[in-house]
Chain A
Amino acid sequence: MSTSAIGSTQFLVRFTVKQRIEHVITMVVFTVLCLTGLPQKFYGAMWAQKLVMLFGGIDAARWIHRACGWALALSTVAHFGSAIVTIAGHKTRLTMIPTKHDFDDAVATLKYYLGMRDHGPKYDRYDYKQKFEYWGLVVGNIIMVVTGFVLIYPTILARFLPGQLVPAAKMAHSNEGLMAFLIITIWHIYNAHLNPDVFPFDTTIFTGKISRERMEHEHPLELARLDGQPEQAGEVASPHGREVVG
């Protein structure tokens, strides 16, 4: 981790170039998958038919959808491949693994929202919402990739397994896709754009940089570790504003 100063604000590097590229790839691929996939689920609607036409017809749209599906599959494999290598080489801390602490954080946050606590919990490198979204994406990706391959190659599947797995895969693919779309458009767009703490745009995942001020509020435990002061862990910080400190 390095720090840099622009103007009077001090910035910390939060994401590596690799992580930023992975986010851009996922963002583009996910968007195109939604644009070419959802019209297939809602094929009866006018907007769906217009959207499909925009891609040059269902056959072209489906080709693009499958190409992006392959890209998603490969990027997921690459992500875990490199993660395994890094973890095996002891070059990283396991910051994304959900723990009992995250569950307690979630409960504490809800209590804070409901006014049953004076302040929210202090988060480490990733808070429970970020871990939830990451693992949701991972599980979703695995479901979408596996069922997607069943739908591209149904005859190969039926050579080894019962044919009913094909409509089962279609049911799962279609619903999981819709759920992923809803979670991203509601939850992710809120947290990355509409949330008053970051409005209108949390640029960290693109620039890799986060201000020290935001780190203090959003990831104080991580900041303390970076500063070599893990004893600060006892201090109070709110997840979204200086005003509520204390």
Chain B
Amino acid sequence: MRRTLLLVMMWVGAGPAWAGIPAEQDDCLGCHGGDPTMSMDLPSGEKLSTYVDPAVFGKSVHGEMLRCTDCHTEKTGYPHESKPFASKRDVQVAYYEQCKSCHFANYTKTLDGVHYAVMAKGNRKAALCVDCHGSHDIQRAAEPRTRISQTCATCHGEVFKIYASSVHGRDAAAGNQDVPVCTDCHKAHDILDPKNGALAAHTPEICGRCHTNEKMMAKYKLSTKVVDTYLKDFHGMSATLQRGKKVDRKNFAAVCTDCHGVHDIQKSSDPGSHTIQANLVQTCKKCHPGATKNFPDAWLSHYEPTPQKATLVWTIQLFYKLIIPFMVGGLVLQIALHLWRVVVNR
């Protein structure tokens, strides 16, 4: 990939910006690459620019390898007829399927994504390939990584603002490569609908990808037992058993984000954190309306019971670790002795 970029840069350095564009482009760019004001009027009243900046296209990832007709497949000669598009969005909706002839795997993934589902329901604002990637100016989406979140922010501006002030967002902006950007949790093409239980069901696994990574967590002095201890308790057990079934988001057991926050996650020592002692009762109350100041202690804060932490729980655990084998063993022994006596007597 770097080599490709290097080549592009060499080409750019060596000649005119569109020097990398295949020769066949010249025919199209002869008309569409000249006048920046070239446009057509659409019935919607919008002006559709029909100008392509050869410099921009030349620098795009496709500049060297695609001809205009690879995407604009029906424009085979000159003069060509204009399709009867009603609006700019019509043009984008009509052309976005062109991507699939090369990018079939990612195209297929989008069919499972929430944007496609929303579009299928008739919301034509839902993102298409070109909305995130651009069209003639396509660049690598993840260079730099933070660019991904910027792209999502085009439509999801409010959420982005919240994310940007979270522990993840602040570190991402500072250039930290460990913290998640939007697509690390939501995925890029097969984005799950956060409103049904599907994303919630995957949340412990998503957070766990980083938060159980010993090497990464050691840098930040964070525990990697967070997922295990969560799964062992009531919420984690419920969430695990709800996974196979279609469950409404609001009826889904609490997952990581229900306590820690979603886009507004802060360090648990941060005064703004949902999980700092002072805010805990409020956080519990989201699901347990009757929660009072003792209630948060019902959750062992991701600690395993030890004689120091949760003495009572640890003692009960130890008691049963001893009594169960003792009881069961004793009874089995008595059964065995009885059977032996029966055999001897016969």
From 227 to 249 in chain B, residues with beta carbon under 8 angstroms from any chain A beta carbon are 231, 233-234, 237-238, 240-242, 244-245, 247
Q: Considering the chains assembled together, what is the distance between the CA atoms of A228 and B332 in angstroms?
A: 37
The interface size bin for chain B is: 35 or more
Q: Considering the chains assembled together, what is the distance between the CA atoms of A58 and B236 in angstroms?
A: 12
Q: Considering the chains assembled together, what is the distance between the CA atoms of A113 and B333 in angstroms?
A: 11
Interface size for A (C-beta < 8 A) is: 49
Task: Report whether A162 and B294 are in contact in the complex, using a CB–CB cutoff of 8 Å.
Answer: yes
Q: Is B295 an interface residue (CB 8 A)?
A: yes
Shortest CB distance B60–A (Å):
48
Task: Report whether B324 and A182 are in contact in the complex, using a CB–CB cutoff of 8 Å.
Answer: yes
From 313 to 331 in chain B, residues with beta carbon under 8 angstroms from any chain A beta carbon are 313, 316-317, 320, 323-324, 327-328, 331
Task: Report whether B292 and A186 are in contact in the complex, using a CB–CB cutoff of 8 Å.
Answer: no
Q: Considering the chains assembled together, what is the distance between the CA atoms of A92 and B336 in angstroms?
A: 35
Q: Is A183 an interface residue (CB 8 A)?
A: yes
Partner of A162, one of B297, B328, B334, B339: B297
Q: Known: A154-B295, A163-B298, A171-B305. Contact between A186 and B328, CB under 8 A?
A: yes
Task: Report whether B294 and A158 are in contact in the complex, using a CB–CB cutoff of 8 Å.
Answer: yes
Q: Is B82 an interface residue (CB 8 A)?
A: no
Which residues of chain B are within 8 angstroms of A15 by Cβ–Cβ distance?
A: none
Supply 29 A–B pairs (Cβ within 8 Å), ascending by A: A40-B237, A40-B241, A43-B240, A52-B241, A58-B238, A58-B242, A59-B242, A113-B340, A154-B288, A154-B295, A155-B295, A158-B291, A158-B292, A158-B294, A162-B297, A163-B298, A164-B297, A165-B298, A165-B312, A167-B313, A168-B310, A168-B313, A172-B320, A176-B320, A178-B324, A182-B327, A183-B328, A186-B335, A240-B338
Residues of B within 8 A of A (CB): 231, 233-234, 237-238, 240-242, 244-245, 247, 251, 288-292, 294-300, 305, 310, 312-313, 316-317, 320, 323-324, 327-328, 331-332, 334-335, 337-342, 344-346
